[in-house]
């Protein structure tokens, strides 16, 4: 009997050991599967977004990761700071994308209504030529697009007045322009500069394609000439951007900030650089800035200067971890640093879809309630005071308490029992808890950073088309033009109309950039 009990104990111990080994093997298999998913995403994912350095990251055989990988893999802890500018650790983790089916069942009927702004050109029929009785009359719409290049030559006269130095002048005959219509130092009119600026920075046409198009239309010029003309346009818009920056950073402003990477040709190779955007929703102003492509926090703090902001919203990119420290010191001590809730929710969605964590779905459902509430507030047209009361309501506090309790419970569990994605999501929410839920303290605070991301999307589209900028000057030109484009879009106006009026005002000698800002340009037009 004793021997039987002893054998039973040995078997139980062996079973326990085997069970422990099996669980350990399952965890390793799960970890290997996650690494395999990441490797497949890195190899077969969106390759156009990668920027490979001239040499691989030292100590690894992998190229430098893109911005999306760095953001997705960061959970707010120092262990996950993988940005080279911060601590030089190689990037890890990647996010997947899912395709959504388009719903074509409910199409709008706006396409049935066509028209052009202004009065149409009428071509009436001569009723006397109708060979018979008129039964009915109707108007048929026809749209024509007439694009042509015209070379204008102005006869200049070199003359000398008594007692004065010889000079050149243009003396128009009747029916011809009163002045030479071109920007100084160029051979382009305001209308031509308007057209090429629209082609490059709105339609995302590359310089090569634009040059080919103009050549097909019979124009002989070099691509560098086009760049120099756009550079001339940037020179005049720089004054406008300075005004926009001043407006965006007014005292007690609430701003959104985001950044995107780009390739810039430097020192005989392509370098990964960054362009940032700052958006003021209330003032409807967007300002892009490029400081030698640097991604360091000093770029943002230098741009902010001594601005006394009420809050600044960013995503959870690791470069912004230090903004909070900066904002709590010196002139930024009263500025509240917010972190986008959408990024927190996306990490839990990723943990559920790729990590298979059922608990992640619970967090995501609770966070989605805040977005649903905000949509209801927007539809109801609540004032900031009314929105604050709703954000401070008992129902909202119950959601926060539920999320906090569930977060504490999950963090207390063994981290080896959950996936890497779930761990990152939990650490992210825990680390940025105050910043994510800072919007509950003020009715004017945004809940996410989607405004800045929508504004910067136009520039990322141009980046994907042009692939790179030829120099720092090219990146600075893009930042200037997109500052104007983004601001005009926030005002709900047409960039084509705005830039055309702007260049005409510049040609006429107007330099009142304050009144040439979107929304005030009509005033400047009347004064010039």
The Cα 516–Cα 463 span in angstroms is 28
Q: What is the pTM of this model?
A: 0.75
Q: What is the pLDDT along the chain (528 residues), one digit of tens a residue?
A: 566 677 777 787 788 888 888 877 887 787 777 777 767 766 665 444 444 444 444 444 444 455 555 566 666 665 665 544 444 344 444 444 445 555 555 555 555 677 787 788 888 888 888 888 888 888 888 888 777 888 899 999 999 988 899 999 999 999 898 888 888 888 899 999 999 999 999 998 888 889 999 999 888 888 888 889 999 999 999 999 999 999 999 999 999 999 888 889 888 888 888 899 999 999 999 999 998 877 777 788 788 888 888 999 988 665 555 555 555 555 667 788 899 999 999 999 988 888 788 888 899 999 999 999 999 999 999 999 999 999 999 999 999 999 999 999 989 888 888 888 899 999 999 989 999 999 999 999 999 999 999 999 888 888 877 778 888 898 999 999 999 999 999 999 999 999 999 999 999 888 889 989 988 876 666 666
Per-residue pLDDT at 7: 75
Per-residue pLDDT at 429: 92
Per-residue pLDDT at 109: 57
Per-residue pLDDT at 52: 47
Q: What percent of the residues of the chain are helix, what percent strand, and what percent coil, each to the nearest 5?
A: 50, 10, 40
| C-alpha to C-alpha distances, 498 to 7, 71, 206, 479, 483, nearest whole angstrom | 89, 36, 22, 17, 13
The Cα 453–Cα 286 span in angstroms is 11
Write down the H helix ranges in 176-251: 190-201, 207-216, 223-248
The Cα 413–Cα 392 span in angstroms is 31
Asked if 484 and 521 count as a contact pair (C-beta separation under 8 A), the reply is: no
Per-residue pLDDT at 440: 94
Per-residue pLDDT at 329: 55
Strand order in the sheet with 285-289: 285-289, 269-280, 254-266, 311-314, 336-339
Per-residue pLDDT at 70: 58
Contacts of 518 (CB under 8 A, 6+ apart): 284, 484, 487, 488, 490, 491, 493, 498
3-state secondary structure 35-55: HHHHHHHHHHCCHHHCCCCCC
Question: Residue 272 phi/psi, 5° resolution?
Answer: -80, 115
Sign of CA dihedral 464, 470, 471, 476: negative
Per-residue pLDDT at 479: 93
């Amino acid at each position: 009997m004793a021997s039987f009990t002893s054998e039973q104990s040995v078997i139980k111990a062996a079973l326990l050991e085997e069970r422990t080994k099996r669980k350990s093997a399952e965890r390793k298999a799960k970890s290997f599967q996650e690494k395999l998913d990441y490797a497949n995403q890195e190899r077969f994912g969106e390759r156009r977004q990668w920027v490979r350095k001239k040499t691989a990251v030292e100590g690894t055989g992998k190229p430098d990761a893109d911005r999306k990988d760095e953001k997705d893999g960061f959970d707010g802890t120092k262990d996950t700071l993988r940005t080279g500018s911060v601590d030089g650790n190689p990037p890890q983790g990647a996010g997947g994308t899912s395709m959504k089916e388009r719903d074509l069942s409910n199409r709008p009927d706006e396409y049935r209504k066509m028209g052009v702004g202004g009065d149409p050109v009428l071509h009436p029929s001569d009723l006397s030529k109708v060979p018979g009785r008129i039964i009915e009359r109707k108007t048929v719409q026809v749209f024509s697009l007439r694009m042509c290049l015209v070379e204008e030559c102005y006869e200049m006269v070199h003359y000398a007045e008594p007692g004065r130095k010889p000079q050149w002048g243009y003396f128009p005959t009747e029916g011809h322009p009163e002045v030479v219509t071109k920007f100084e130092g160029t051979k382009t009119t305001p209308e031509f500069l308007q057209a090429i600026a629209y082609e490059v920075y709105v339609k995302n046409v590359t310089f090569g394609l634009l040059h080919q198009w103009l050549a097909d239309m019979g124009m002989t010029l070099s691509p560098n000439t086009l760049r120099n003309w756009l550079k001339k346009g940037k020179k005049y818009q720089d004054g406008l951007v300075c005004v926009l920056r001043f407006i965006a950073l007014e005292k007690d402003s609430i701003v959104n900030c985001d950044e995107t990477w780009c390739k810039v040709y430097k020192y005989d190779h392509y370098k990964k650089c960054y362009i940032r955007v700052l958006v003021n929703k209330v003032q409807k102003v967007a300002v892009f800035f490029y400081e030698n492509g640097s991604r360091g926090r000093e770029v943002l703090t230098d741009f902010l200067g001594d601005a006394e902001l009420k809050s600044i919203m960013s995503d959870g990119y690791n470069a912004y971890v230090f903004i909070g420290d900066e904002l709590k010191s010196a002139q930024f001590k009263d500025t509240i640093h917010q972190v986008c809730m959408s990024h927190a929710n996306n990490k839990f969605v990723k943990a559920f879809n790729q990590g298979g964590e059922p608990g992640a779905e619970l967090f995501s459902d609770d966070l989605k309630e805040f977005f649903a509430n905000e949509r209801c507030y927007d539809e109801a047209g609540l004032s900031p005071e009314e929105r604050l009361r709703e954000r401070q309501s008992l129902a909202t506090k119950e959601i926060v308490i539920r999320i906090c309790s569930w977060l504490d419970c999950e963090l207390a569990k063994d981290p080896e029992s959950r996936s890497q994605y779930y761990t990152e999501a939990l650490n992210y929410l825990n680390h940025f808890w105050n910043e994510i839920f800072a919007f509950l303290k003020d009715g004017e605070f945004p809940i996410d950073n989607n405004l800045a991301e929508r504004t910067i999307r136009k520039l990322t589209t141009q980046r994907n088309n042009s692939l790179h900028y030829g120099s720092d000057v090219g990146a600075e030109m893009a930042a200037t033009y997109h500052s104007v484009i983004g601001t005009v879009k926030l005002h709900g106006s047409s960039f084509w109309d705005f830039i055309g009026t702007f260049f005409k005002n510049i040609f006429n000698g107007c330099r009142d950039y304050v009144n040439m800002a979107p929304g005030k340009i009509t005033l400047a037009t009347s004064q010039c």
